[in-house]
């Protein structure tokens, strides 16, 4: 019996679906999840496909280990051509949706075309129905979830839905499951909305899933669980979640405050997530994860009194808090939850607001431009209005909902200089001036400036001796040096891609264990998939994925010129050091060295020799 699930291929325009076998030859060549998705898109999606046209393909794929007994094996990877960047769209989500999909024996969902009217999918282990969603269209994600739960008569269903943001064309619309788990980045919810697809509902099986190995690898699972639970930060992360690390980031001098004007926030003590711990009424998390870093909150007063609330993650805390100069924690929680309900990426939303506030402070935007909104730093009420406008497509928020790159072009008057993005994707929360590995990762990541896409946490976690042993560069552990960062980012990128293709969460694997050697993960894959595989095999798959993503972006028009930080980071006002610096002095040397260690030419293109070496035929 195959341990792999099937592929469910759905054509919304034709109203048809079919189950296909997962190609066994890809199992160890590209793994599942992110790897399967990118090779499929590269082979089947035309380079000139309109991201919001029916020809775009939307893929939702479980990793090889998603839904197995492996700890933290919850992840589902989602890809399409991004409406925000025009390049590879990529997002990853936990919760229980991926595991439920795999329990139905489904490895991947391929969604084609556009339904003539709003629909949702009803998926079981052996069937799929395309049902009308006219009554759901216009509802926020929480309302849609509740409506479907009541209509279908079960709270055990797993539901993925979009909100008004994805319906109305906000270019960073997201997909939500379990109410507060977001597939947030690069506008995958907007692609879903462009297909008139409101939701996907999965009904799992009661019987034991057919993909489970005969030997569930209990000893390997126990060893991996022990590593997670005995990691130095396990108890802290379990208690406070990612929100508990805001003060830590400020102490390190890496918070991108007020649209990256500075790298510390004077009111950080007021927005540190640890303050929320006494408001937690229930901790929870993703499928088979021992960390359980999610939390439901209860407020005894203020605007959140009596309202269902969820604790924000680390990145939304930074994006909606320090990056916008907001020091009111209750308002920050409300705004993060509002983004979830409206189905827009809270990271991009926070960046877009910070961008607008920066322009307002510089008098590039006036009250007339803002429709009378006072965009002084930290103005929570104005932030709320802008978020609602982003989701509806109205007013200044409607412009910001196109992303900071396009918004800057529309606004003009020098606004482009202050748009913090790479490849069109708004930057995540770390200020790159004090973390050279993060700066390089932002520049070269496939989906744009996003820490999670490369996840170079070893930069600030490993001891100098570990950097010397792995990279032979004694200065690699120095956050502000450019030496050794190319090798570090290469390792982090490939390991991140492997984890996204195995379906494992990066929090326990990289933030907590932080080994970056794939030894334990390879053991899990071998015993749970019932096939011996080596670390070298798994690592080679990661290289294959990295190069295929690069080829996809190059075919969509990207070039080495896109692998750079915005000019705003090479001015004295935006530099954490004592003097201004030019890209040629620190970014370009790192980038060129990164190309070299990746086996790419000076233009950042994979060489024929590299592609032949890793078995990619173009």
Domain boundaries defined on the chain:
6-202, 242-419, 432-614
- The C-alpha atoms of residue 187 and residue 445 are separated, in whole angstroms, by 16
What's the token pair of residue 92?
């990853």
Per-residue confidence (pLDDT) for residue 1, from 0 to 100: 35
CATH topology of domain 242-419: 1.10.569
Give 107-119 pLDDT, tens digit per residue.
999 999 999 999 9
**pLDDT lower than 50: segments of the chain:** 1, 210
Q: Reduced to 3 states, what is the DSSP secondary structure of residue 430?
A: strand
- Rg (Cα) of the chain, in Å, rounded? 23
How many whole angstroms separate alpha carbon 429 and alpha carbon 244? 14
**Partners of 130 in the β-ladder:** 121
For residue 406, CA distances in Å to 26, 371, 613 come to 37, 19, 39
Distance CA 583, CA 565 (A): 8
Strand order in the sheet with 280-284: 280-284, 294-297, 309-310
**Which of 180, 297, 315 shows the shortest CA–CA distance to 242?**
315
- Give the strand pairing for 106-112 and 6-11: parallel
Question: What pLDDT is attached to residue 147?
Answer: 97
pLDDT at position 212 is: 58
Taking phi over 0 as left and psi of -120 to 50 as alpha, with beta for the rest, 22 belongs to: beta
- For the stretch 326-351, pLDDT in tens is 999 999 999 999 999 999 999 999 99
Alpha-carbon distance of 331 to 384, in angstroms, equals 9
Write b or e for each residue in 356-373: b if 16 or more Cβ atoms lie within 10 A of its Cβ, otherwise e. bbbbbbeebbeeebbeeb
- The CA-atom distances, in angstroms, between 108 and each of 60, 116, 258, 449 are 6, 24, 40, 27
Whether the CB-CB separation of 272 and 446 falls below 8 Å is answered with no
CATH fold group of domain 6-202:
Aldehyde Ferredoxin Oxidoreductase;  A, domain 1 (3.60.9)
Q: Per CATH, is 432-614 categorized as 1.10.579.10? A: no
Three-state SS string over 184-253 comes to CHHHHHHHHHHCCEEEEEECCCCCCCCCCCCCCCHHHHHHHHHHHHCCCCHHHHHHHCHHHHHHHHHHHC
Residue 122 has φ and ψ, to the nearest 5°, of -110, 115
For helices 436-444 and 485-502, angle between their N-to-C axes, nearest 10 degrees:
60
């Amino acid at each position: 019996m195959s341990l792999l699930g099937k592929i469910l291929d759905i054509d919304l325009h034709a109203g048809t679906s079919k189950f296909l076998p997962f190609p066994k030859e890809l199992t160890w060549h590209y793994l599942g999840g992110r790897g399967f998705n990118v090779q499929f898109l590269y082979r089947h999606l035309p380079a000139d496909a309109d991201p919001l046209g029916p020809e775009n393909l939307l893929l939702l794929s479980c990793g090889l280990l998603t839904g197995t007994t492996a700890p933290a094996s919850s992840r589902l990877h989602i890809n399409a051509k991004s409406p925000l960047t025009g390049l590879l769209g990529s997002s990853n989500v936990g919760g229980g949706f991926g595991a439920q999909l795999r329990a139905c024996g489904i490895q991947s969902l391929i969604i084609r075309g556009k339904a003539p009217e709003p629909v949702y999918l009803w998926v079981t282990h052996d069937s799929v129905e395309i049902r009308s969603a006219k009554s759901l269209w216009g509802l926020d994600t929480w309302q849609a979830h509740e409506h479907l739960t009541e209509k279908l008569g079960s709270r055990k269903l797993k539901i993925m839905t979009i909100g008004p943001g994805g319906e109305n064309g906000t270019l960073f619309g997201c997909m939500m499951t379990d109410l507060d788990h977001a597939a947030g980045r690069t506008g995958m919810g907007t692609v879903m909305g462009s297909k008139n697809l409101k939701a996907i509902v999965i009904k799992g099986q009661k019987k034991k899933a057919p993909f489970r190995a005969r030997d569930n690898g209990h000893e390997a699972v126990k060893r991996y669980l022990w590593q997670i639970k005995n990691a130095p930060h396990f108890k802290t992360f379990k208690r406070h979640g990612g929100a508990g690390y805001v003060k830590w980031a400020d102490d390190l001098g890496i918070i991108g405050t007020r649209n990256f004007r500075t790298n510390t926030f004077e009111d950080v003590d007021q927005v540190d997530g640890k303050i929320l711990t006494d408001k937690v009424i229930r901790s929870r998390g993703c499928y088979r994860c021992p960390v359980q870093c999610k939390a439901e909150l209860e407020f005894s007063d203020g605007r959140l009194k009596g309202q269902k609330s969820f604790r924000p993650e680390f990145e939304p805390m930074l994006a909606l808090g320090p990056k916008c100069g907001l020091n009111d924690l209750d308002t920050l929680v409300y705004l993060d939850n509002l983004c979830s309900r409206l189905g827009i990426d809270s990271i991009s939303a926070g960046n877009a607001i910070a961008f607008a506030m920066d322009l307002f402070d510089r008098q590039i935007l006036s009250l007339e431009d803002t429709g009378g909104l006072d965009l002084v730093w930290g103005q929570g009420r104005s932030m709320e209005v802008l978020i609602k406008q982003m989701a509806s497509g109205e007013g200044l928020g409607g412009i910001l909902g196109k992303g900071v790159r396009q918004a800057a072009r529309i606004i003009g008057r020098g606004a482009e200089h202050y748009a913090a993005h790479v490849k069109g994707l708004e930057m995540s929360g770390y200020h790159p001036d004090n973390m050279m590995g993060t700066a390089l990762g932002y520049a070269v990541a496939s989906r744009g400036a996003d820490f999670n896409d490369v996840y170079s946490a070893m930069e600030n976690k490993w001891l100098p001796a570990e950097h010397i042993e792995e990279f032979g560069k004694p200065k690699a552990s120095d956050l502000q040096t450019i030496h050794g960062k190319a090798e570090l980012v290469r390792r982090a990128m490939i390991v991140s891609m492997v984890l996204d293709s195995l379906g494992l969460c990066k929090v326990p694997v990289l933030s907590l264990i932080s080994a970056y050697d794939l030894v334990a993960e390879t053991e899990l894959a071998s015993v749970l998939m019932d096939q011996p595989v080596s670390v070298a095999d798994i690592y080679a798959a990661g290289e294959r994925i990295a190069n295929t993503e690069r080829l996809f972006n190059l075919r969509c028009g990207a070039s080495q010129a896109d692998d750079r930080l915005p000019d705003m980071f090479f001015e004295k006002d935006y530099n954490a050091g004592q003097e201004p610096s030019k890209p040629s002095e620190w970014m370009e040397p790192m980038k060129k060295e990164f190309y070299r260690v990746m086996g790419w030419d000076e233009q950042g293109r994979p060489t024929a020799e590299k592609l032949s070496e890793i078995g990619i035929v173009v």
